[in-house]
Amino acid sequence: MIQIKSAKEMESMRRACMISAAALRYGGQHIEAGMMTLELDQLMYDFIIRQGAKPNFKGLYGFPGTACISLNDTVIHGIPTKSQVIRPGDIVSIDVGAKVGGFNGDNACTFACGKIDMEAQRLLDVTKESLYLGIAAAKAGNRVGDIGHAVQQFCESHGFSVVREFTGHGVGKELHEDPEVPNYGTAGRGPRLVAGMTIAIEPMICQHDHKVKTLADGWTVKTRDGGLAAHFEHTVAILPGKTEILTKGWDEPDSLL
């Protein structure tokens, strides 16, 4: 069931999303070549706790980390470890969120570790732009399919492909709520978007083929062909006459804590 937030609940969402965005940007700022992904994860854990919030990924469905940290051909759900080291030229996707006041925030960004090749940069640029095209389609009166259609058309027009098995979602008292928000689809189809909805829009885009595989750890999702993948995400609120990006802070430095 889709949850519609009251004005008071929306304020709680704004607080949770502000902290989530600040944690994401903080993690991105601390990426260094030679760093273990577990070390980066611990930095974000400490940051979220200092804000009086709770890392909402940690322990969710048994996930061990504060954040999903996914390198290069890992699409999503990378588990932070002592053995995985970030190297120059890697692309590093961080997906992290915080819970405070009974509500959740959720956001993601793919960062570059130093200089990356031109095709990797193009993948990041196109995926990020597709996120904002999806957000532009997320208006009251539109449908969920309008979001996916906007993302898919743009990414495929640039030669990239859209992951099918994983989608965006509603966000609120639970981290994952209805509706599912695919990054592909047909305009004019799917649940109608109405004021009071809060959803996570999160393009997961592959350099080559969209087929993915989940490793034996039950979490790590990689591209089947070994191509790169990028992941960008905002939590947004559908409001009367406008759509508000609740996690805008990771992409707008001056608005952070």
| pLDDT tens-digit map of 4-29 | 999 999 999 999 999 999 999 999 99
pLDDT of 256 strictly over 70? no
Q: What is the span of the domain harbouring residue 195?
A: 7-255
Residue 19 covered by a domain: yes
The length of the chain in residues reads 257
Residue 239 lies in a domain: yes
Check residue 215 and give its pLDDT: 98
- Mean pLDDT for the stretch of residues 104-110: 98
**In a domain? residue 153:** yes
- 1 inside domain: no
Classify residue 48: in a domain, yes or no: yes
User: What count of other Cβ atoms lies within 10 Å of the Cβ of residue 36?
Assistant: 16
The pLDDT of residue 253: 56
Distances (CA, A) of 26 to 46, 60, 174: 11, 22, 24
pLDDT tens digit sequence for 16-65 = 999 999 999 999 999 999 999 999 999 999 999 999 999 999 999 999 99
Could you give the CA distance from residue 148 to residue 182 in angstroms, rounded to a whole number? 5
2 assigned to some structural domain: no
- Tokens representing 149 are 């259609």
Give residue-wise pLDDT tens across range 158-211. Answer: 999 999 999 999 999 999 999 999 999 999 999 999 999 999 999 999 999 999
Instruction: Evaluate whether residue 251 is within a structural domain.
Output: yes
C-alpha to C-alpha distance for 50 and 42, rounded to whole angstroms:
12
- State pTM to two decimals: 0.96
186: its two tokens: 């047909």
What's the structural domain count of the chain? 1
Residue 228 belongs to domain with CATH number = 3.90.230.10
**Residue 16 falls within a domain, yes or no?**
yes
**Residue 94 pLDDT > 70:** yes
pLDDT average, residue stretch 67-73: 98
Looking at residue 156, the DSSP 8-state letter turns out to be H
